[in-house]
Amino acid sequence: MPKLLEIRDLRVSYGQDVVLNGIDITLEAGETLAIVGESGTGKTTLGLSIMRLVEGTVRGDISFNGRDLLALSDREMQQIRWNQIAMVFQNADNVLNPVYTVLDQVAEPMVAHGLKKRNEARDRAAELLSHFGLPKNRFAAYPHQLSGGEQQRVLIAMSMANDPELLILDEPLSSLDAVTRSEITGLLKQTRSNRTMLVVTHDLDTVSKLSDRLAVLYGGKIMELGSTKEILANPRHPYTRALIRAYPNMTTVKDLQGIKGRMTRPVSGCPFHPRCTQVIDICPREIPELLPGHGRKIACHRGGIITLLSTRNLTKYFNSLKAVDSVDIHIEGGETLALVGQTGSGKTTLAKMIMGLHQPTEGSVYLEDTKIDNRGKDFYKRVQMVFQNPGESLSHRLSVLEAVMEPLEVQGVGTKEERIKKAIQVLGEVELPQTEDFLRKYPHHLSGGEMQRVAIARALMLDPALLIADEPTAFLDASIQAKILKLLLNMQEQRGLSMLYITHDIAAARKLSDRIAVMHNGRIIEEGLSNEIVAAPRQDYTKSLLKAASAMN
């Protein structure tokens, strides 16, 4: 297919503020590309630069049908605008002229460009307006007399007036209700077949319904670029995944999660590194290139989401009993894998083997693809565990402060003052009091929920990358359990933790996890995305787990 639009190394800045920092995009005729990202990532600027409507400094190449748009004179550009490239703007009520009726407004571009006489133009405008669902009796209305949805229909009709080759839609539907939105999406889909579209939006629903390809924009850089379907089903860039996690929808079962931190500018190196879950030395120093990988293009120094921990053929016999039977699991950076199974299925044994508390009979554990033979202090700095029974896992002889400081003491990190400071900070993170009085308490002065929070704080003291939580709520009542689960989710959001969450409760697992692995008699019998496992279990055992799970009816 011929290339309709080719953008090379596009850089846009408003004064010192760099908004787009080297964008490369190619659009083939007839395809729809969606640009997604949070507010302020430069999506709108990208659309406006193609239209040459940006007020800042623009550098790079934008070639449209072989013509360099940035080199054209204003006059030539006027010819292209509306005729060949049209744009639907974000704020409908600002864009429409309040003193014209909507019919006249839609006819205006045709008349202005001398394509049609006024009468013909009006007929065409009426046709377009009806096509996009504006009732006939509203044609003579002024913009302020229309609802938001109706204004949006007018704008879309207007953009179509001169039959442009490229249509840029900037948040076309985000202010509309779901029913109107899906109706307009349907109408846009029909026009899609003979038109090239660039859809700029933060709305993943629109993206999935409308676009063929998807570019994820962050901090003025493209983070991930590829087929919409594949990226939405299996995001490989930490930012894309975070964006999908934050989007309310009917598919995922996990609770909504934000992205840690806030967008900041300017940032050296990879723009996403301050909020990323898998930062290494190079990330703050160098800007990653957009390189092919996983059947798409990814801009990440680590080649996309890493596999943090995996087990290969991990097996444990207790005499002749096979407690864990050749288990292969993997946990990606920043994700939660729930290990679900009934008591005695080998879940805890598996966790203890990962932690080095049991020696595996066969098989091994890999941390970021490095085989772990002898666990030194470095391993435990990255991987920490919260045990089932907080009353057991906290020594009755250590006060809250002593218990929480213990990991630092074992690892020999920091001076005593630094340890105390860190302990108090982490206790605050897990929403425990930071008073002198509380620090001096002993476990038997605490409630079960408080003890488990202390245990969680203790596990977080070393700032691990992976937290293994072994039935952390088994000894707690429902309301405390809910709080602990929320806390774990928050910790994941704030710290970008990966988690292996072990539970017998598939209902809790689906709220907390991205993926579920079902364990039965020491084997992983089923593994997949949480929503898929819950909605369409393949194994009978999983079905019985789901059937036995708590329900209110």
Partner 1 sequence: MHIDIKKEIKESGPGKAGLLILLVMIALALLAPVLARYNPFLQTADSLLPPSWEHWLGTNHVGQDIWSRLLFGARTSLLVGFGVGFLSTLLSTIFGISSALVGGLYDKVVMRIVDAFIVIPAVIIVILVAAYIRPSILVLIMLLALLSWQGGARVVRAQALSLKERGHVAAARSFGANHFYIAWRHIVPDLGPILLVDFIYGVRRAVFMEAGLAFLGITDPTMVSWGMMMRDALRFSYLNVWQWWLVPTGVALSLTIIGLTFLAYAAEPVIEPRLRGAEVA
Q: Which residues bind partner 1 (CB under 8 A)?
A: 352, 355-357, 375-377, 379-381, 384-385, 387, 389, 391-398, 406-407, 410-411, 455, 458, 462
CB of 467 to partner 1, least distance (A): 11
Q: Residue 145 or residue 395: which is nearer to partner 1 going by CB?
A: 395
DSSP 3-state assignment of 49?
A: helix
**Which structure tokens are listed for 100?**
């014209």
**Quick one: tokens of 312?**
């290969």
Cα–Cα distance, 550 to 53 (Å, whole number): 57
Please report how close the Cβ of residue 397 comes to partner 1 at its closest, in angstroms.
Answer: 5
How many CB atoms lie under 10 A from the CB of residue 262? 10
Q: In the bound complex, what is the minimum distance in angstroms from residue 435's beta carbon to partner 1? A: 24
- Beta strand residue intervals within 122-195, DSSP E: 166-170
Q: Which of 499, 143, 529, 140 is nearest to 351 (CA)?
A: 499
Nearest by Cα to 516 from 536, 497, 496: 536
Distance CA 264, CA 275 (A): 10
Nearer to partner 1, 181 or 352 (CB): 352
2 touches 28 (CB < 8 A): yes
Residue among 245 and 352 whose Cβ is closer to partner 1: 352
Nearer to partner 1, 160 or 461 (CB): 461
Tokens linked to 201? 């939006």
Residue 415 vs 479, nearer CB to partner 1: 415
Q: Which of 466, 464, 498, 471 is nearest to 485 (CA)?
A: 471
Shortest Cβ distance from residue 549 to partner 1 (Å)?
28
Min. distance of Cβ 494 from partner 1 in angstroms?
A: 22
- Nearest approach, Cβ of residue 403 and partner 1 (Å): 8
Q: Which of 201, 200, 169, 175 is nearest to 187 (CA)?
A: 169
On whether the CB atoms of residues 20 and 11 are closer than 8 A, the answer is yes
Q: Cβ 384 to partner 1, closest distance in Å?
A: 7
| Cβ closest to partner 1, residue 309 vs residue 394 | 394
Residue 238 structure tokens: 């930490």
264 C-beta neighbours (distance < 10 Å), count:
10
The full DSSP string for 396-424 is TTS-HHHHHHHHHHHHT-S-HHHHHHHHH
For residue 148, give the 3-state DSSP assignment: helix
Which lies closer to partner 1 via its Cβ, residue 85 or residue 455?
Answer: 455
Q: Name 353's Cβ contacts closer than 8 Å, sequence gap at least 6.
A: 311, 314, 316, 324, 359, 360, 365
Q: How far is the CB of 464 from partner 1 (least distance, A)?
A: 10
One-character DSSP codes across 359-399 = --SEEEEEETTEEESS--HHHHHHEEEE-S-HHHHS-TTS-
CB-nearer residue toward partner 1: 36 or 365: 365
Residue closer to partner 1, measured from CB, 222 or 454: 454
In the bound complex, what is the minimum distance in angstroms from residue 342's beta carbon to partner 1? 22
Question: Nearest approach, Cβ of 337 to partner 1 (angstroms)?
Answer: 19
Cα distance from N-terminal residue to C-terminal residue, the chain: 55
Q: Measured between alpha carbons, how far is residue 284 from residues 130, 402, 464 in Å?
A: 53, 35, 20
Where does 44-191 show beta strands of DSSP type E? 57-64, 67-68, 85-88, 166-170
Question: Which residue, 385 or 489, is less far from partner 1 as judged by CB?
Answer: 385
Please report where in the chains the tokens 């999506």 appear, as a residue: 43
Q: What backbone phi and psi angles, to 5 degrees, belong to 518?
A: -95, 130
The nearest distance, CB 245 to partner 1, in angstroms, is 28
| Residues constituting the chain | 553
Per residue, the 3-state secondary structure of 313-373, as one string, reads: EEEEEECCEEEEEEECCEEECCCEEEEECCCCCCHHHHHHHHHCCCCCCEEEEEECCEEEC
| CB-CB contact of 98 with 145 (8 Å) | no
For the beta sheet containing 336-340, the strands, ordered from the edge strand earlier in sequence to the opposite edge, are 383-386, 466-470, 498-503, 336-340, 515-520, 523-529
Residue 217 or 427 with smaller CB distance to partner 1:
427
Instruction: Pick the closer one to partner 1 by CB: 69 or 372.
Output: 372
Rank residues 214 and 430 by Cβ distance to partner 1 and give the closer one: 430
C-beta of 484: minimal distance to partner 1 in Å? 17
CB of 311 to partner 1, least distance (A): 17
**Among candidate residues 486, 295, 461, the one with its CA nearest the CA of residue 386:** 461
Give 269 or 414: the residue with its C-beta nearer to partner 1: 414
CB of 501 to partner 1, least distance (A): 16
